[in-house]
Amino acid sequence: MKPGLRHFFDSMTDFLAAPSGLERLRASHPGWDEAPARVALYGEFVSHHVRATLAKLYPYTQASVGPECWTALLDGFEVQRPARHYEMNQLGEGFPAYVADQAEALGLKAFIPALARFEWTDWTVYASEEPLPGPVERLTVNPTLAMLQHPFRLCAWVRGQCQAPAPQEGEEMALLWRHPQQLTTWFMPAHDRALLVVKMALEGLSPEAVAAATGMLVDTVHRAVAGCVREGFILSP
């Protein structure tokens, strides 16, 4: 990249980092006296898109914290984590960590940081570039499968469109994956049979071997496998 172009991008980084960046931008380009209102338009343009993107990625978090607190989160997030990525949705990557950092200061409900992390994982699973394998020769874990551990029953609460004031407390391991046919994010709380089938796929265990080791009926193991395959987080031959 030519030095002049590099200088331009570096100066624009300072400008977009915070509202006060305009004076630094002017200092970087002596003799340039464009009207502040015209220059501010570009910062406002970026700010608008960042806020609209976060609202799209975190609708339940936004609804749960309320308008005033949501605005405070966005104001602080823009200053601490200015937009850098060319793909708009990636601007939301650091938001769950920021929400967790601000939870105590803003008096957020205890489940909010976990909810933000859940919503970001929902998006990353949906947008995952992990290719699904073609025909498989053995049980295979869907490569988009993600697991989240949190002390709230988020899966049922989100599935119910967050109608209750808050999710129930209780340890939960959430499974999220992109369905291989429907290509949307599916999720559920992990149960023992689902985790057993994931273990079978990862370790190459046969239903017969699992039945012998656990005392389960072979038919029960086969039904558990078939259910996980229908759900889409396990792929089968």
Q: Which of 11-25, 43-57, 73-87, 102-116 has the highest mean pLDDT?
A: 102-116
Confidence of residue 176 (pLDDT cuts 50, 70, 90): very high
Q: Taking the model in full, what pTM does it have?
A: 0.84
Size (the chain), residues: 237
Collect all residues with Cβ–Cβ distance below 8 Å to 81 and sequence separation of at least 6: 94, 95, 98
User: Alpha-carbon Rg of the chain, whole angstroms?
Assistant: 23
Say whether 193 sits in a helix, a strand or coil: helix
Helix ranges, 107-217 (H): 112-126, 154-159, 192-203, 207-214
Half-sphere exposure of 14 (CA within 13 A, CB side): 15
Predicted confidence at residue 138, as pLDDT, reads 93
- Separation CA 140–CA 146 (nearest Å): 14
148, 133 contact by CB (below 8 A): no
CATH topology of domain 128-237: Outer Surface Protein A; domain 3 (3.90.930)
Collect all residues with Cβ–Cβ distance below 8 Å to 91 and sequence separation of at least 6: 50, 53, 54, 83, 84, 85
54 CB burial (10 A radius; 0-12, 13-18, 19+): buried
Beta-sheet strand order (sheet of 185-189): 146-152, 169-178, 185-189
Provide the residue ranges of all domains of the chain, joining segments of one domain with +.
Answer: 34-126, 128-237
Q: What is the DSSP letter of 180?
A: T
- Structure-token pair, residue 216: 């389960």
177, 146 contact by CB (below 8 A): yes
Predicted confidence at residue 48, as pLDDT, reads 86
- Separation CA 39–CA 33 (nearest Å): 10
3-state helix, strand, coil in the chain (%, to 5): 60, 10, 30
Predicted confidence at residue 163, as pLDDT, reads 87
Confidence of residue 26 (pLDDT cuts 50, 70, 90): confident
- Structure-token pair, residue 198: 């994931």
CATH topology of domain 34-126: DNA polymerase; domain 1 (1.10.150)
Confidence of residue 1 (pLDDT cuts 50, 70, 90): confident
Q: Rounded to a whole number, what is the distance in angstroms from the first to the last CA of the chain?
A: 50
Say whether 17 sits in a helix, a strand or coil: helix
- Structure-token pair, residue 181: 């046919």
Predicted confidence at residue 20, as pLDDT, reads 56
Rounded to an integer, the average pLDDT of 115-123 is 98
Q: Is the pLDDT of residue 118 over 60?
A: yes
Say whether 162 sits in a helix, a strand or coil: coil
Predicted confidence at residue 21, as pLDDT, reads 63
Mean per-residue pLDDT over the chain, rounded: 90
Phi, psi of 150 (to 5 degrees): -155, 160
What tens digit of pLDDT does each residue of 67-110 get?
Answer: 999 999 999 998 888 777 888 899 999 999 999 999 999 999 99
Predicted confidence at residue 5, as pLDDT, reads 79
